[in-house]
Amino acid sequence: MPAAALAAAALAAARTASPRGLEALRRTCTRSLPGGSAGAQRQQRQHSSAAPRMAPPAAAAAAGGAAGGAAAAAAAAAVGAKRAMRAELKAALRGVADMDAQSAPPRCAPPPPPPRGLPTPRGRTGLTAPPRGAAAAGAAVCAAVAASPAFRQARSVGLYVTCARLREVDTSALLRAALEQGAHASAGGRARPAAAALAPAAAAECSLRGPRAPGAAAGKQVFVPLVEEGQSCMRLLHIDTLNDLQPAPPFGILEPPRTRPDGTPREHALEAPFGLDLLLMPGLGFDAAGRRLGRGGGYYDKLVHDLEARARRHGWQAPWLVALAFEQQVVAEVPTSDHDRRIDVLATRGALLRCSERAQQQLP
């Protein structure tokens, strides 16, 4: 039996982690190795029958070892599947720029001005504008999110800042809208509609934690990621304006500094008195069951774990997890590991897909 086939049989038998599968592996190896003749097999059976039976504790230990080997093999297989899918999705995203090429302006036309209040593509950020197709598709994704009462009524929102080099859905419009809602409320402007004033279904959707607690901020609080490479973690820090963001290496992604201009530390979402209502997440791949494939750092998985643990301690509802994706990023099934966190809602071009059980039960 060729070595490759023997290895495949060994992996298949190990994955079963059962006596039958292990016996099949033993027979396969006996036939394939030198001396695996019928006489050798007969001697092996006689030796096995003459040997004393394994004591129950030893048998349990052996079974545990086999199960541990199967778990390790499954984990390694998941890592390999993720690596392969990441490569495929990155290649697919390189074609996003061609999606709306027919609607692109003529070459002689001047480029459109940048959105008001955001840095210019060649300004202090050093970032390039997102591809035309990505901009058109991303605008449709963000429009679906912005129109949802869950976003409009959320009291606190965490959202990523787009990096064009990573070909993510551009969240500039959502970031600007969230900051404007907070600024209007803080300045005594027109208050946003109460949940009770909405349609019953919309009221149920946006009633994340019930009435606002006394002392809670009147406007929407906005939290933006700060990646701390040395500590392999990500913090969600509060910002008031776009001027609070600064480009950070290596990709020039806009991030808030740890302290405000007056030297006081910025509030972390994990330290906010009333927690986080909504988290908008990027990623490489997603499926209809809410599985998410990130870029391999595990930053969002760790952050979501901490946010959910804090919500449980205080008796709050966990934040809604909403991922933004291009159509090319939606696959049949995403390979996952035990530590991967699933999303509640997947926002694609013009549609919001309820993935989790609680989203299907609580969101109209």
pLDDT of residue 71: 79
Higher model confidence: residue 339 or residue 281? 281
Residue that has been written with the tokens 């499954």 in this structure = 74
pLDDT given at position 362: 87
Helices (H), 130-242: 132-147, 149-153, 172-186, 200-206
Q: Report d(CA 254, CA 247) in Å as an integer.
A: 4
pLDDT at 123 over 50: no
Averaged pLDDT for residues 344-360: 92
Q: What angle do CA 355, 270, 217 make, to 5 degrees?
A: 95
Instruction: Provide the 3-class DSSP secondary structure of residue 35.
Output: coil
pTM strictly above 0.75: no
Tell me the mean pLDDT in the region 129-134.
Answer: 59
* CB of 251 closer than 8 Å to CB of 163: yes
Across 73-88, average pLDDT: 86
Does residue 120 carry a pLDDT above 60?
Answer: no
SS percent in the chain: helix, strand, coil, step 5: 45, 15, 40
Q: Taking 70 as the threshold, does the pLDDT of residue 5 lie above it?
A: no
Mean pLDDT along residues 220-238: 89
Whole-number Å distance between alpha carbons of 172 and 176: 6
The rounded percent of the chain whose pLDDT value lies above 90 is 39
Task: State the pairing for strand pair 285-286/246-248.
Answer: unpaired
* 20 Cα distance to chain centroid: 39
What is the reported pLDDT for 250?
A: 80
pLDDT number for residue 135: 83
What are 55's two structure tokens? 């004591």
pLDDT attached to residue 342: 95
Residues 6+ apart with CB under 8 A from 82: 293, 296, 335, 337
What's the token pair of residue 38?
């019928």
The answer on pLDDT for 105 being more than 70 is no
As a whole number, the mean pLDDT across the chain is 73
Rg (CA), the chain: 27
Residue 205 has pLDDT above 70, yes or no: no
Q: Residue 236 pLDDT > 70, yes or no?
A: yes
Residue 151 and residue 204 in contact, taking contact as beta carbons nearer than 8 Å? no
> For 10-24, 48-62, 181-195, 209-223, which range has the lowest pLDDT when averaged over its residues?
10-24
The answer, yes or no, to whether residue 26 has pLDDT greater than 60, is no
- DSSP letter for 14, please: H
Does the bond joining 250 to the residue before it have cis omega, within 30 degrees of 0? yes
∠ Cα 257 260 264 (to 5°): 115
Banded pLDDT at 252 (limits 50, 70, 90): confident
Residue of 295, 261, 266 lying closest to 83 (CA atoms): 295
